[in-house]
Amino acid sequence: MVAQRAREVEISGIRKMFESAPPRSINLGLGEPDFDPPAAVIDALCRAVREGRNHYGPSAGIPELREQLAERYRAKDPATSRDNVLVTGSGTEALMATALALYDPGDEVLVPNPGFVLYAPHARLSGAIPVPYSLLASGGFQPDLDELESLVTARTRAIVVNSPSNPTGAVFPKATVDRLCAFADRHELTIVSDEVYEEIVYDGPAVSFWGRSDRTVVVNSFSKMLATTGWRIGFVVAPRALAVEINKLHYHIMACPPTPAQVAVLAGLASSEPTARMVEEFRRRRELVVRTLNAIDGLTTVPPAGAFYAFPRFSWPVSATELAGALLARGLITTPGDAFGSLGASHLRLSFAASRDDLRRGLAILAELGRTLGAADRPAAPPVSGRGSGRRPASARRS
């Protein structure tokens, strides 16, 4: 007999599209950099393996990596120490361990809609109730503080935020971060801030939630900043007492993070240059994608300020799932917007973590399908009377 919690969650729409794709499809669906890790990171991993660093390590991570991460966050809060940092097996595991440590059955958790596909399921798996809050294209995908106030009840425990955002590409300005922190403090809510795309921004640095509230947990990852998605290595920065509790859950999920990968990403933190080069290429692709999408009738796009996703809204007479399915049949992998929540309906997520050539070819497929759908949506022209019909259009008859 399958447990109730397993029956209540589904495979994400992202994975469904990726795993159903025909061979040699153009992949604008899966969210990972199409770069290799920096050479220094690869070399450090190989050295770690050859030098015997292949055994269990501390549950919270090797001390030298935790110390280096604490140093990075001291610019945001000078009191940050190694005791605030926990290394995890990916940002995903960090989110799960945090949810298990924070949420009790019956708690309510505010989650973004549209938002990353794991926030609501993690709440449900913890016995909590996800309560969506709106991120609308008309508002630049920024949260509405009045709406948030209306959603808070005596059972609200936490709010999940994500900036830069997957799927929308929105980045919260400092004023928004300050207002969200004040809101959380006013209602004694914990902020769970997913900041895995913090290094991938185009219009100025992302503003971290760390150091702005005593009830903040930051989840981050090396997957995006160092292009190590397959290595599954992330981290949490949290108040010390809460970090201890998250570590206990983390231990029972995976015991300890992989030792060679920790040694390797530590080497990667020594230089930001490879990440900066990757972001500059993403910037060029962003310009290509936004320019091309804006030229397609039936699409409107809020230019992404961070991450590597565009989230255009379409006006064609199909659902997001139908549109993504039609594109998949034509050899283009995308993600239907409603995989990220009800407000993702009539949206499509496109990843520009792909070569410029693939982007051009993939967007051409989208444009061609859009022309077909647009033509099907236009009303038929009224019949024109032929010669010898004996009748004239009503507008031409005399009164």
Q: What is the model's pLDDT at position 13?
A: 58
320: in domain: yes
Q: Are 40 and 263 spatial neighbours (Cβ–Cβ below 8 Å)?
A: no
Task: Pick the range with the lowest mean pLDDT from 156-160, 323-327, 373-377.
Answer: 373-377
Binned at pLDDT 50, 70 and 90, residue 346 comes out as very high
Binned at pLDDT 50, 70 and 90, residue 315 comes out as very high
Task: Report the domain count for the chain.
Answer: 2
The answer to whether residues 151 and 58 belong to one domain is yes
Binned at pLDDT 50, 70 and 90, residue 377 comes out as low
Q: What is the model's pLDDT at position 8?
A: 78
Residue 397 predicted with pLDDT over 80: no
Q: What is the model's pLDDT at position 9?
A: 78
Domain boundary residue among 247, 268, 289? Answer: 268
CA distance 216 to 191: 5
397: in domain: no
The answer to whether residues 278 and 262 belong to one domain is no
- For residues 204, 220, 179, 239, the Cα torsion angle rounded to the nearest 10 degrees is -130
Task: Pick the range with the lowest mean pLDDT from 70-84, 208-222, 254-268, 379-393.
Answer: 379-393
For the segment 65-108, what is each residue's pLDDT rounded down to a tens digit?
Answer: 999 999 999 999 999 999 999 999 999 999 999 999 999 999 99
Binned at pLDDT 50, 70 and 90, residue 23 comes out as confident
399: in domain: no
Q: What is the model's pLDDT at position 20?
A: 65
Q: What is the CATH number of the domain that holds 71?
A: 3.40.640.10
Binned at pLDDT 50, 70 and 90, residue 385 comes out as very low
Q: What is the model's pLDDT at position 74?
A: 97
Phi-psi map region of 221: left, alpha, beta (phi>0 left; psi -120 to 50 alpha)? beta
The answer to whether residues 175 and 301 belong to one domain is no
Q: What is the model's pLDDT at position 43?
A: 98
386: in domain: no
Q: What is the model's pLDDT at position 81?
A: 98
Residue 386 predicted with pLDDT over 60: no
The answer to whether residues 242 and 129 belong to one domain is yes
Residue in the block written with tokens 């496109």: 350
Q: What is the model's pLDDT at position 217?
A: 98
The answer to whether residues 133 and 148 belong to one domain is yes
The answer to whether residues 89 and 185 belong to one domain is yes
Q: Which residue has the higher pLDDT, 75 or 377?
A: 75
The answer to whether residues 169 and 115 belong to one domain is yes
Residue 276 predicted with pLDDT over 60: yes
187: in domain: yes
The answer to whether residues 15 and 51 belong to one domain is no
Q: Are 311 and 347 spatial neighbours (Cβ–Cβ below 8 Å)?
A: yes
The answer to whether residues 253 and 369 belong to one domain is no
390: in domain: no
Residue 379 predicted with pLDDT over 60: no
The answer to whether residues 17 and 72 belong to one domain is no
Binned at pLDDT 50, 70 and 90, residue 21 comes out as low
Mean pLDDT of 12-27: 70
Mean pLDDT of 200-213: 95
380: in domain: no
Domain boundary residue among 234, 268, 302? Answer: 268
What is the rounded average pLDDT for all residues in the chain? 92
Q: What is the CATH number of the domain that holds 349?
A: 3.90.1150.10
392: in domain: no
Q: What is the model's pLDDT at position 14?
A: 62
Domain boundary residue among 233, 253, 268? Answer: 268
Domain that holds residue 340: 4-34+273-375
The answer to whether residues 128 and 259 belong to one domain is yes
The answer to whether residues 99 and 237 belong to one domain is yes
